[in-house]
Amino acid sequence: MNENSLDKVGKRLGNLSDLPDELKKQLQATKTDELERQILDVLSGLEGIGNIDEVLVGLYRKFSVIQERAFLSNKMYRMAKAGHLKSVKGKKGVYEMT
């Protein structure tokens, strides 16, 4: 087993929309909280990529949600570690959908 293979574990599920709800409920990958869904929705409206400022404004405009910048930054970092987002190399605070 190499390090590259280990990095892929849990990230190869692809689009889960075709799966029955009974199966989706069993998957850890589908358990996202409300803020995560909102962040993904905002990024989707930004062609799948955006920085923290754009997400902060998008959350307010779309959901009337005001988040602390540091909290949102940490949340998006954790989402990237979990495979829900991908950090854009060389661009601080810029994330794209996976």
Number of domain units in the chain: 1
| Residue 77 to residue 34: CA distance in whole angstroms | 16
| Residue 27 to residue 3: CA distance in whole angstroms | 24
pLDDT in tens, 64-84: 999 999 999 999 999 999 888
Confidence of residue 11 (pLDDT cuts 50, 70, 90): low
Question: Structure pTM?
Answer: 0.68
Report the CATH number that the domain containing residue 77 is assigned in CATH. 1.10.10.10
Write out the residue range of the structural domain in which residue 41 sits.
3-97
3-state secondary structure 48-96: CEEEHHHHHHHHHHHHCCCCCHHHHHHHHHHHHHCCCEEECCCCCCEEE
pLDDT in tens, 22-68: 887 787 665 557 788 899 999 999 999 999 999 999 999 999 999 99
